[in-house]
Structure 1
Amino acid sequence: MTPLWTAQEAQQATGGTGPQAWSATGVSIDTRELQSGDLFVALKDVRDGHEFVAQALAAGAAAALVSHRPEGVAEDAPLLIVPDVLKALEELGIAARARMHGKVIAVTGSVGKTGTKDMLRSVLGEVGIVHAAERSFNNHWGVPLTLARMPRETDFAVIEIGMNAPGEIAPLSRLARPHVAIVTTVAAVHAAAFTDVRGIAREKASIVAGLEPGGTAILNRDDATYRTVRRRAERAGASIVTFGGAGRPMFRLISTRLRGATTCAIARVRGDRLLFKLGTPGRHLAMNAMAVLAAVEAVGADVAQAAMRLGRWSAPDGRGARWRIRLGQAAIDGSLLLIDDAYNANPTSMAAAFDVLDAAEPKNGIGRVAKGRRVAFLTDMLELGPDAERHHAALADLRAIERIDRIHCAGPLMRALHKALPPARRGEWYATADELAARAGRLLDAGDVALVKGSKGSRASRVVDAVLKLGQAVPAQSTEDEDA
């Protein structure tokens, strides 16, 4: 196997010192996920990674990137010693980007970043070697880590870039040096750090800061802040490509139809009619797919072929994954459908998730309750600023709420929604996700469709875990699975 990094290459990239007798096949920052042959990077976060260097080397790490030799580590251990570990990781990322001769696509947006990244990885993976992070590694250490892991023979790299505060996206874009920059959408997410949504738009638009000369900016024409984002892209000299559902964008989503576990869509691409399907329901996902197809065109791949490949893409765990929970031995007590959207939440993505739940069909006559129900388990949406309670209460005004039979809530912010709900739809409220999770089994029945959604920090995944444990969980990736 060709090494990802040799000691000499890593030293040249970082200016570090140490023995030159090692080569690494990967890069890891976590001993729990480390593979034999990885370069272990001793970052400082909640814990100082230097505390785990000895453990990493014992587990088969090829070497460790450190700022000093930790106590208990042999003097002849394969260490790459640098003044600043995070800075050295950035330098590895810069070197990896410099030696890669393929195309780089950077993705940002208030919602839809990870789904768009995963779609791109899926459709481009059939025409070349694609590199993208397995999870949402999109921050000040996640982007350089993703770059540092990039094989030199990569044809397409998809780099997700996020932010929590002003000034974070532009430096990461300059590290990635994308040929294509996508802004999926702009919404009031991470609002606590910004005065208004225009400030968020300006920050998202800064993804063009590192755009390669002649690069392409793919922008959502439907966004209220579209002109703000476009002006920044134009100043950067980007070629502008638009997508959306209204007006005359270059990549226009005309209509969608949700059926079971799929989305059927009709689009118009530069005037030509295009039909495609997704292996996950959601109009918002079909809109993300328009950005994907625009990026495929921008990197010189075939749009029609990519549209066909979209049908094989389905949402990952925490982002709309669907599970059939078979209750009792051999499903003797029936089954229910779980929609796991527990990784993140904001008002925009919450509305999209309600639409997906609305489109799902419960099964009648198979449970203790004769009529199958749509049931939502919701935990707090975080980082919404001083208007957070208002944003939560406003969810009660969404039209899709009318088709949800029961809405159970957890967390201090979700109490605002709980109070605003019509009594007929108001379920139970608990202070924590753990308390709601403990009740989940008694709040569901065979034939139900359950949606779990909330911000990662509010622990919505605890409810997902509780529902999965109610029976035998199998992926529901087709209409047949949904109808089981």
Structure 2
Amino acid sequence: MIAPAFASKAILSWPRTKRDALPLALWTAQEIAAATGGVASGDFQCANVEMDSRDVRPGDLFVALKGEAMDGHRFVEKAFAAGAPAALVDRPVDGPHVLVKDTTEALHALAHAARERADAVRIGVTGSVGKTGVKEAIFAALERSSRGQAHRSVRSYNNHVGVPLSLARMPARSTYGVFEMGMNNAGEISVLTEHVRPHVAVITTIAPAHIENLGSIEAIADAKAEIFAALEPGGAAVIPADSPQYGQLLAAAEAKGARVLSFGRSPEANVRLLDAIPAANGGSLVTAQIADRRLCYTVAEPGEHWVSNSLAVLGAVYAAGGDLGAAGLALAELGGLKGRGARHQISAAGGKALLIDESYNANPASMRATLRQLGHTPSTRRIVVLGSMKELGDFGPDFHAQLAEPILEAQVDHAVLVGEEMLALARHLGKQGEAMLGKGLSFAHCDGPAEAIAALQEYGLAAGDAILVKGSNSVGLGKLVDHFTSRV
């Protein structure tokens, strides 16, 4: 045990860096005005930047954005009442503010100023599946090894508003910044990567998400590869070696002069999986090779997809000059995120049941991965609540019907199918019957979450059940999760 006096002395003698001399406030009035070309009404300091008045906390600069249906200026007074010290506005208001011509352009300018003032290694993360979890794991690894001087985009702030907002929130003292980038259409990631200008660009995987808009897997790969467009000179591209689109991604990265780090099971992968076995906690014990180093570490999150995700994390941390040991520790401690793998013990007849919350997002690849993991989850019965997978267009009916196979392999006892698109799966299960599903899977089709709650209650939950809830966020299955997790 370290003596208190010795510990205090060690803390006081911790080596100082140039970053320690930087101001603690995120933004001052003068800095905001200089960055945006606006006019400050007076002196003030801000600790954060927020665009939703409902989320404003004391110290937050409120940015009054204007959209097609809503104008943030209507909520300036509410933001002040919640503790905002100032607002970024395009018209004079009562209260401290910076007046600019256009608040969206001003937010972009503030983001770029934050990017330029922080001597931080920036990591961009995209992919069809797993980008939020990988982003969180990279952040956890870098925060651990940088004395808390890592920054990342929170939640899924990965679009044309969320990315610049996340950049504007990056403190000047940051050593690392980790930013998630999402898209629905071609050309969107190229805009986002121009904001971030990453030193390291990560693509987790390529799968048929948003295929309705893009038309093919190859087009999806091209859209994801846009993340390399604004890669800083000498930057690194971290890409999946086992993907059928690996050659396409490799060519796109090399065309931008990237230093490529591939990850996967392939013998040619730069971050190569050597072995993975189940761990006692339900995760995996992984052995991987990266450069001349062999690493053995635990991944807390269950499933083969998280073994692959962990390799992407190692590649990103290695490319960013981070600590691989810290990355291993972070992966061992990472917990499931709300809507993305969080596990809950809920009340059921005779005791407790396990509810796995994957309600935030779904596409054919992630559906198969989570169903596969459910099949390895110890339980008395396995129950799934599956919501429609959106943005699949004409491919949708086939992709939904094809879920019958992984449902069978997972030995599911009962399925609640939610949403119009899930009718294709319901019809397929109905036609196949016991001839296909052996013991006879029971299922119900529902229009929405309220009906799904009733259907699950009618079926009845018992101690030892494992219930997987997964669907596109717009289906609203988060309401079902909240309903069952809130019961005592």
TM-score (norm 2): 0.89
1:385-410 CA-to-partner distances (Å, cap 9, x unmatched) read 22111110111123763521222101
Matching of residue 42 in structure 1 with residue 50 in structure 2: no
The answer to whether the aligner puts 1:452 opposite 2:469 as a matched pair is: yes
1:135-214 map, 5 Å: 135-214=155-234
RMSD (Å), alpha carbons: 1.7
Q: Is the alpha carbon distance of 1:322 and 1:261 closer, same or farther for their aligned partners in structure 2, counting shifts above 3 Å?
A: farther
What does residue range 107-118 of structure 1 map to in structure 2 within 5 Å? 107-118=125-136
Percentage of matched positions with identical amino acids: 40
Q: Is the Cα contact below 8 Å between 2:145 and 2:323 reproduced in 1?
A: no
**What is the CA–CA distance in structure 1 between the aligned matches of 2:283 and 2:347, rounded to whole Å?**
21
| SS of aligned partner of 2:164 | helix
Question: Does 1:440 pair with 2:456?
Answer: yes
**1:122: which partner in 2?**
140
In structure 1, the partner of 2:312 is 291
Tell me, in whole angstroms, the C-alpha distance in 2 between the residues paired with 1:415 and 1:266. Answer: 42
**Rounded Cα–Cα distance in structure 2 between residues aligned with 1:389 and 1:433:** 21
Quick one: distance in 1 between partners of 2:333 and 2:362? 25
Do structure 1's residue 427 and structure 2's residue 443 form an aligned pair?
yes
Match of 1:412 in 2: 420
Change (3 A) 1:144 1:402: closer
Aligned mates of 2:447, 2:319 — CA distance in 1:
48
Kindly report which structure 2 residues correspond to 1:11-410, keeping only aligned pairs within 5 A, or say none: 11-45=33-67, 46-69=69-92, 73-74=93-94, 77-128=95-146, 129-258=149-278, 261-270=282-291, 272-327=293-348, 333-362=350-379, 372-398=380-406, 401-410=409-418
Deviation readout 1:218-239 (Å, 9 max, x if unpaired): 0101111111111111111100
Cα distance 1:79–1:56, how it changes in 2: closer, same or farther (>3 A)?
A: same
Per-residue CA shift, 1:303-333, capped at 9, x if unaligned?
Answer: 23422331111221110111112447xxxx3
Equivalent residue of 1:416, what SS? helix
Displacement of 1:249 in angstroms is 0.5
Opposite residue 40 of structure 1, the aligned amino acid is F
- For residues 156 and 175 of structure 1, the distance between their equivalents in structure 2, rounded to whole angstroms, comes to 16
Contact 2:383 2:468 in 1 (8 A): yes
Distance (Å, rounded) in 2 between the aligned partners of 1:393 and 1:271: 45
Question: Distance in 2 between the 1:49 and 1:430 partners?
Answer: 37
Instruction: Give yes or no for contact 1:438–1:466 (8 Å, CA) kept in 2.
Output: no
| Matched residue, 1:367 | none
Q: Given that residues 200 and 235 in structure 2 are in contact (C-alpha distance below 8 angstroms), is that contact kept between their aligned partners in structure 1?
A: yes
Matched to 1:141, the amino acid is V
> 1:440–1:463: 8 Å Cα contact kept in structure 2?
no
CA distance in 2, matches of 1:312, 1:347: 28
Identify which range, 176-185 or 317-326, moves more after superposition.
317-326
Distance 2:478 2:88 in 1: 33
Alignment: residue pair count: 453
Q: Which runs of 5+ in 2 are unaligned?
A: 1-22, 434-439
Shifted more, 243-252 versus 443-452: the winner is 243-252
Q: Which amino acid aligns with 2:135?
A: K
SS at match of 2:83: coil
Aligned structure 1 segments of 4 or more residues deviating by more than 6 angstroms: none
State the one-letter code of the partner of 1:375: I
Q: Does 2:485 correspond to 1:468?
A: yes
Aligned equivalents of 2:405 and 2:266: distance in 1? 23
Aligned residue identity for 2:287: I
Check the 8 A contact 1:355/1:400 in 2, yes or no. Answer: no
Shift of 1:256: 3.1
SS at match of 1:32: helix
For residues 408 and 328 of structure 2, the distance between their equivalents in structure 1, rounded to whole angstroms, comes to 29
Q: 1:187 deviation in Å?
A: 1.2
Distance 1:382 1:152, change over 3 A: same
2:469 counterpart SS class: strand
AA partner of residue 394 (structure 1): Q
1:31 is matched by which residue type in structure 2? S
1:263 Cα offset (Å): 2.3
Q: Return the letter of the residue paired with 1:343.
A: Y
